[in-house]
Structure 1
Amino acid sequence: MDKPIGWNDTVSVRVDYTSFPTVGTFFIRPDETYPDKPWQAWTQGEETDNHHWVPIYDYPNERSTFETILTVDRSLKAVSNGELVSIVENKDGTHTWHWRENFPMVAYLISYVVGDYVKVEDSYNGIPVNYWVYKENQDETCVLWSDHGL
C-alpha cells in the first residue's frame, strides 16, 4: 500500500481466491443409494466455518458488505445473499452469477446455494421476496410461506 490506513478510514479491497474446502461448504450428488438425488452445493457458515471457503475474519463481532460471484453449469442456479447484479452466459456452457450484499452483516451469514432451482416471486408489504425451490415444489411455495406472514 502507498500509505498507512487510519483507524477510521474506509478502504475497498479485492481478493481473488481459490480453495478446496472440506468444512463450511457441502457438495451433494447422486450416489448408489440415491441415484436421483439432485446435485447441490451449499454453505453452512455459522458460527465460524466460512473462513474455510472464503478468506475472511470469521468471527461474529465483525460486519461487512460483500459480493459473491459464482460460475456454474448452465443447468444450475447460483443463489447468494443480497441483490442479483447480473448473470453472464459463458461460451463454455457455464454462467456466472454476481450477487451483492449492501448491508453490513456478520461473516457467518454469507452463504450460497447451487442447484437445479426455479425462482418463485412473491412480496411482503411491497418488498420483493424470492424463493428458490425445486420445480416440483414451486406451486406450493407461496402457500406454505403464507402461514408465516409472508
Structure 2
Amino acid sequence: MKTTCKEDLRSHCAVNYGVEIFGDRWSLLIIRDIVFAGKKTYGEFLKSEEGIATNVLATRLAFLEEQGILSKAPSPEDRRKDFYTLTEKGLDLIPIVLSIVVWSARHDSKSYVRRRKDFVARLKASPVQVSEEVKELVRNGGCIFPESRE
C-alpha cells in the first residue's frame, strides 16, 4: 500500500503535496461519491460506474484514512459495515472538487453536470459561498444530489 509521509514526498512543492495525497483518479472519485451522492460504505463505492477494482478500493480507502482525509466508523444499523466520512481535512478538498466540476462543465460537452445548469451557474457566480454551503451539508451527513445515491 502507498504511504506518504514528509520523507516520502518527491518535493515540498505545494502542488506536489496535493498530487501525492489526493491526486490519483480513484481518491478523487471516492471523495466525489461522498460529496455528490452521499455514499458511505465500501459496497456503495464499489457500485460507482467507473468500475474500481476491489483491491484498489480497499487500498485507497485505507490510504485516505491514513492521510486524515477520511474517517471510518461502524454503521449504526449494521456493525459489520463501516461508514466512511470526510474529516475536516477532507472537507477542505470540496472547493477543489467543485473547481474541477466547473472546468469539466466548460470543456466536456458530454459531462453529466451540464444537466445541472442551475447548480453550475450558482457555483460559477459564488464559488466560495457554494463551497462553504456544500462543506456544511456534507459535514452534517448530506450530499449535493441525494437522488443519485445508489
TM-score normalised according to structure 2 size: 0.27
Higher helix share: 2
> Could you say which structure has the greater relative contact order, defined with CA pairs below 8 angstroms and 6 or more residues apart?
2
Larger-Rg structure:
1
Write 1 or 2 for the structure with the bigger share of strand. 1
